């Protein structure tokens, strides 16, 4: 994680605004629609060791309270622990839903239902209990987390990430210029890969961590 | 649902009184020593006679009544006789509330009560030290301990926060050799702790773990093997940590002779287990009445179990799916006899991977069911309604919102005796479609007039429906409405939900627990403060406009014990308006409001018997803003086991 020191060069005001806690009814707070993030004390939810009953939906999303009004209407970021359903219950549905999907597919197939493949085509999140990945951005003082299952494709993902990190672009890029940054990810083997090469499903299954880096540092990673 | 037993009041002490007893200090009269009986939080949570003890009764009064004979020189025998008489009388008091009151009368009563209290209820394991608790109460046979704040269930409390049972087991192991029962909720229980339990309590009979974590099948094996008198092993919604390749065959470890098992519930132990061993165990447990298995049990296996235990009253059915490949499994009619033979079943649950085709098999028992839990079964209204229509005697119903408004209408038409309804969301996200709405709520209110407990997740709600429920169901004790979209207004009028919740507190005079949601202004809290005089537990999320809300609450809700707040626009000012209430409360939790370290510190400084914990995330930078604060009264002071991310002010 980047040290806060490197961030000082950014615009002081937008920094301050970025860290200001703003709470209130929707629509009442609209001065700086972009700076709608809670202070660094962002609830991150707990991180438990990988466990069949763990995480799923509630666990690791972050809070973006004013997402409703401010951000582009992309997949709305989830809030930790809301709605208040116990993680135990949520995780039971992950397991049950994928298993019953597998069974359904098996039953629907006329004969020789191939259960393993049916299970594989069911929600990929079932195999891996957690679908939340950390997203870091060079220059940002804190990380975020997103739920990979919220996105059906690369475009949606990119848009969501842009919305999330827009406040960290700093003043030197007037409006946040998405082309400035490349999105990379760390896969199962720990290698840093450029996002976009493989089919989205495959990507979301193997992605462990996302990193948004300045394009200038992305040389050698891709042809874009 | 008060659990105060109708006991005769102890007769006043007869005439030959020794010198007047030392009166207790009046400061404790308004303290939580008037610990209220608390209804069990879930029907599945075991001890139905779990009553609340506030062992942290003396906020300012530190009794120095250990040992000693109180008062001046007196001959021992009359005093001793008195105490013996008193003890025999106090044995009849079971409710903690009565016992707490009795203990405050005088030293003599304090001692007698302390020796005769059989069940110890500690609502917050950090409110008192284990040593102090065992020192006061010498003859305890049953202990109920609660640990983490409830919001830990929703991942708001980081891993490693605390609530370790170890020091309690250690202290009790030394002090209570005759201990028979332990119930823990939201505590961390390791396999070593379970081993210590098995080792320390030769007469141990009942273990109940709810929402705990830290143990595995190894710990269960130890309990099964060494607790020879075990009657009850109830594991409910725990996070059982097992590596798939390091499983222990714990079911095989029960005694090989007939066991005294009455209740075995392990649906949350999600790993496979030795089914043959379970079948054999059931066969040699003649007293078994409650059995809840995990989802690794197929219908074929369930049938075998039911054959072995036709006397069951509570059955958790496992997956409720055939394990045979398509077309090969048994038919519904083959399953029906099993249920027809089980004449005693009154409570059904499980259905974890239910195949709806098999549902009709349960029809034979539906007419007797008082409790039905479909909340892990993804069934739609078409599957559910035929079942519901058979359950005339249903009192408790847990279901997913896939039941729809239509299904709820069927419930309303059939289950006139319903006391408790919980509707959970299949898709617990804010933007999900949500199949139940104000329509369903209204229907329920019209058909189920005896309703006492409702938990309802929905996406759309109206004030009208909530008001209707407040008028139709005056017996409501618990009203938890979760409109999943944050700050969502009345779907028809667009107005805040103030009036709806207002009418609930106004009309439901027995209400002790309330959870609010939807768009709420300060007005809602004026109502709650004005009318919610019996409210003990209150949960707020994304509600209110200003600190006035908190002020109204603290001023008005005189019986408030537990307050949980998240994501609401309350600042230090609101927090400080509660200073006069905090000693009367078990705890206050606030996260993602506008609190600062300065405000929290001020609370800590002005309230010496309050522990104020500021909780930060692992990689969070320390700033003046406080995201999570958990404060609670305590006789034990700042705890010694706090992790790095907790700061006690």
pLDDT, tens digit, for every residue of B50-101?
334 444 443 344 444 444 444 444 445 667 787 788 888 888 888 888 888 9
Q: Which two tokens stand for residue B411?
A: 């419930």
Higher pLDDT pick, B545 / B432: B545
> What average pLDDT does range A149-174 have in this prediction?
71
Q: Which two tokens stand for residue B112?
A: 């007698």
Please check the confidence at residue B569 and state whether its pLDDT lies above 50. yes
Residues in chain A: 224
CA A82 distance to own-chain centroid = 16
Partner A contacted by B591 (CB < 8 A): yes
Q: What is the pLDDT of residue A12?
A: 53
Higher pLDDT pick, B304 / B56: B304
> What average pLDDT does range B132-155 have in this prediction?
94
Residues in chain A within 8 Å Cβ distance of B629: none
Please check the confidence at residue B513 and state whether its pLDDT lies above 70. yes
Q: What is the percent of chain B with per-residue pLDDT over 90, rounded to a whole number? A: 74
> What average pLDDT does range A47-66 have in this prediction?
38
A85-129: pLDDT as tens digits: 998 898 887 765 555 555 555 555 444 434 333 333 333 333 334
Q: Give dist(CA B270, CA B589) in Å, integer.
A: 31
**Scanning the structure block, which residue is given the tokens 């799923």?**
A56
Q: What is the pLDDT of residue A135?
A: 85
Cross-chain CB nearest to B157 (options A46, A76, A143): A46
Cross-chain CB nearest to B239 (options A19, A47, A53): A53
State the Cα torsion B58-B64-B66-B68 to the nearest 10°.
Answer: -150
Please check the confidence at residue A157 and state whether its pLDDT lies above 90. no
- Looking at B182-274, list the stretches that DSSP marks H as alpha helix, in order from N- to C-terminal side: 191-200, 217-226
Partner B contacted by A58 (CB < 8 A): yes
Q: Give B486's pLDDT tier (boundaries 50, 70, 90).
A: very high
Please check the confidence at residue B175 and state whether its pLDDT lies above 80. yes
Contact (CB, 8 A) for B385 and B408? no
B48-63: pLDDT as tens digits: 333 344 444 433 444 4
B224-240: pLDDT as tens digits: 999 999 999 999 999 99
Q: ipTM greater than 0.90, yes or no?
A: no
Best probe of the A interface among B155, B537, B593, by most A CBs < 10 A, is B155
Please check the confidence at residue B284 and state whether its pLDDT lies above 70. yes
Pairing verdict, β A144-147 and A132-137 = antiparallel
Task: Report the residue of chain A nearest B318, measured CA to CA.
Answer: A96
Cβ within 8 Å, pair B158-A82: no
Residues in chain A within 8 Å Cβ distance of B211: 86, 88
Cβ within 8 Å, pair A53-B568: no
Q: What is the pLDDT of residue A91?
A: 84
Cross-chain CB nearest to B569 (options A23, A60, A79): A23
B405-424: pLDDT as tens digits: 999 999 999 999 999 999 99
- Looking at B415-564, list the stretches that DSSP marks H as alpha helix, in order from N- to C-terminal side: 438-447, 463-472, 498-507, 522-531, 547-556
Please check the confidence at residue A59 and state whether its pLDDT lies above 60. no
Pairing verdict, β B181-185 and B625-633 = unpaired
Contact (CB, 8 A) for A186 and A192? yes
Q: What is the pLDDT of residue A215?
A: 74
Compute CA distances B97 → B34, B47, B402, whole Å.
6, 16, 41
Q: What is the pLDDT of residue B427?
A: 87
Q: Give A14's pLDDT tier (boundaries 50, 70, 90).
A: low
Q: Give dist(CA A76, CA A161) in Å, integer.
A: 12
Cβ within 8 Å, pair A90-B375: no
Cβ within 8 Å, pair A84-B376: no
Please check the confidence at residue B279 and state whether its pLDDT lies above 60. yes
Q: Which of residues 73-102 of A touch B (CB under 8 A)?
A: 76, 78-90, 92-93, 95-97, 99-100
Lowest mean pLDDT among A7-21, B235-249, B345-359, B471-485: A7-21
Partner B contacted by A69 (CB < 8 A): no
Q: What is the percent of chain B with per-residue pLDDT over 70, rounded to a whole number? A: 87
Q: What is the pLDDT of residue B76?
A: 52
Cross-chain CB nearest to B430 (options A21, A81, A83): A83
Lowest mean pLDDT among A166-175, B205-214, B451-460, B523-532: A166-175
Please check the confidence at residue B393 and state whether its pLDDT lies above 50. yes
Q: What is the pLDDT of residue A142?
A: 77
- Average pLDDT of every residue of chain B: 87
Q: What is the pLDDT of residue B258?
A: 94
Q: Give dist(CA A136, CA A165) in Å, integer.
A: 9
Compute CA distances B118 → B71, B96, B99, B141, B199, whole Å.
27, 10, 11, 5, 21
């Amino acid at each position: 994680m980047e040290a806060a020191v490197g961030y000082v060069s950014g615009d002081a005001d937008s920094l301050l605004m970025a860290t200001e806690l703003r709470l209130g009814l929707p629509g009442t707070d609209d001065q700086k629609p972009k700076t709608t993030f809670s202070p660094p004390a962002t609830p991150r939810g707990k991180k438990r060791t990988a466990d069949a009953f763990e995480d799923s939906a509630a666990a690791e999303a972050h809070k973006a309270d004013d997402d409703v009004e401010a951000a582009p209407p992309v997949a709305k970021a989830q809030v930790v622990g809301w709605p208040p359903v116990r993680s135990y219950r949520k995780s039971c549905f992950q397991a049950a839903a994928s298993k019953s999907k597998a069974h359904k597919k098996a039953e629907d197939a006329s004969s020789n239902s191939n259960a393993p493949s049916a299970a594989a085509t069911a929600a990929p999140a079932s195999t891996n209990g957690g679908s939340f990945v950390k997203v870091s951005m060079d220059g940002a003082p804190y990380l975020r987390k997103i739920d990979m299952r919220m996105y059906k494709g690369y475009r949606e993902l990119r848009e969501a990430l842009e919305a999330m990190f827009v406040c960290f672009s700093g003043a030197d890029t007037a409006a946040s210029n998405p082309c400035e940054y490349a999105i990379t990810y760390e896969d199962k083997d720990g290698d840093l890969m450029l996002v976009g090469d493989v089919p989205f499903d495959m990507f979301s299954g193997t992605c462990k961590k996302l990193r948004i880096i300045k394009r200038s540092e992305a040389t050698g990673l891709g042809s874009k | 649902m008060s659990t105060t037993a109708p006991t005769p009041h102890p007769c006043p002490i007869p005439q030959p009184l020794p010198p007047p007893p030392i009166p207790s200090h009046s400061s404790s009269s308004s303290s939580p020593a008037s610990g209220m009986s608390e209804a069990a939080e879930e029907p599945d949570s075991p001890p139905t006679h779990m009553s609340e003890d506030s062992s942290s009764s003396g906020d300012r009064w530190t009794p120095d009544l250990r040992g000693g004979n109180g008062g001046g020189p007196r001959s021992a025998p009359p005093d001793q006789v008195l105490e013996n008489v008193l003890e025999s009388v106090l044995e009849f008091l079971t409710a903690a509330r009565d016992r707490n009151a009795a203990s405050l009368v005088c030293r003599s009563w304090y001692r007698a009560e302390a020796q005769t209290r059989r069940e110890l209820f500690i609502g917050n394991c950090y409110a008192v030290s284990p040593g102090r608790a065992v020192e006061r109460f010498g003859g305890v046979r049953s202990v109920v301990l609660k640990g983490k704040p409830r919001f830990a269930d929703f991942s708001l409390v980081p891993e490693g926060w605390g609530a370790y049972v170890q020091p309690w087991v250690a202290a009790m192991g030394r002090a209570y050799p005759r201990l028979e029962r332990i119930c823990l909720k939201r505590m961390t229980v390791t396999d070593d702790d379970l081993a210590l339990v098995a080792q320390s309590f030769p007469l141990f009979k009942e273990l109940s773990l709810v929402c705990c974590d830290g143990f595995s099948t190894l710990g269960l094996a130890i309990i099964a093997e060494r607790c020879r008198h075990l009657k009850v092993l109830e594991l409910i919604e725990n996070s059982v940590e097992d590596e798939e390749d390091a499983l222990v065959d714990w079911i095989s470890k029960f005694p090989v002779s007939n066991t005294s098992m009455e209740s075995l519930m392990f649906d949350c132990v999600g790993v496979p287990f030795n089914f043959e061993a379970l079948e054999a165990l059931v066969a040699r447990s003649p007293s078994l009445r409650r059995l809840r298995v995990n989802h690794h049990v197929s219908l074929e296996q369930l049938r075998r179990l039911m054959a072995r235990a036709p006397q069951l009253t509570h059955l958790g059915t496992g997956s409720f799916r055939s394990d045979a490949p398509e077309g090969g499994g048994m038919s519904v009619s083959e399953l029906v006899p099993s249920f027809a033979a089980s004449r005693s079943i009154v409570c059904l649950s499980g259905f974890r991977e239910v195949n709806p085709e098999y549902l009709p098999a349960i029809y034979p028992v539906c007419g007797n069911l008082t409790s039905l839990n479909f909340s892990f079964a993804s069934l739609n209204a078409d599957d559910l309604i035929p079942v519901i229509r058979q359950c005339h005697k249903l009192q408790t119903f847990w279901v997913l919102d896939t039941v729809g408004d239509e299904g709820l209408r069927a419930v309303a038409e059939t289950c006139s005796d319903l006391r408790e309804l919980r509707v959970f969301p299949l898709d617990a996200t804010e933007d999900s479609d949500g199949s139940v709405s104000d329509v369903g709520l209204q229907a329920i209110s019209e058909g189920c007039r005896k309703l006492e407990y409702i938990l309802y997740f929905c996406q759309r709600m109206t004030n009208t429906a909530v008001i209707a429920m407040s008028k139709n169901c005056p017996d409501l004790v618990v009203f938890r409405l979760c409109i999943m979209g944050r700050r969502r207004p009345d779907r028809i009028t667009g107005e805040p939900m103030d009036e709806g919740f207002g009418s609930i507190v106004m009309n439901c005079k027995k209400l002790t627990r309330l959870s609010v949601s939807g768009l709420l202004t300060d007005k809602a809290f004026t109502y709650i403060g004005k009318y919610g005089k019996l409210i003990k537990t209150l949960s707020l999320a994304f509600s209110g406009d200003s600190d006035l809300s908190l002020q109204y609450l603290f001023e008005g809700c005189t019986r408030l014990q537990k307050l949980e707040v998240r994501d609401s626009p309350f600042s230090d000012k609101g927090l400080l308006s509660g200073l006069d209430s905090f000693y009367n409360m078990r705890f206050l939790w606030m996260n993602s409001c506008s609190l600062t370290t300065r405000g929290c510190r001020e609370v800590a400084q002005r309230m010496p018997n309050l522990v104020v914990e500021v909780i930060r995330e692992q990689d969070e930078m320390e700033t003046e803003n406080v995201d999570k604060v958990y404060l609670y009264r305590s006789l034990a002071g700042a705890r010694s086991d706090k992790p790095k991310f907790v700061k006690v002010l």
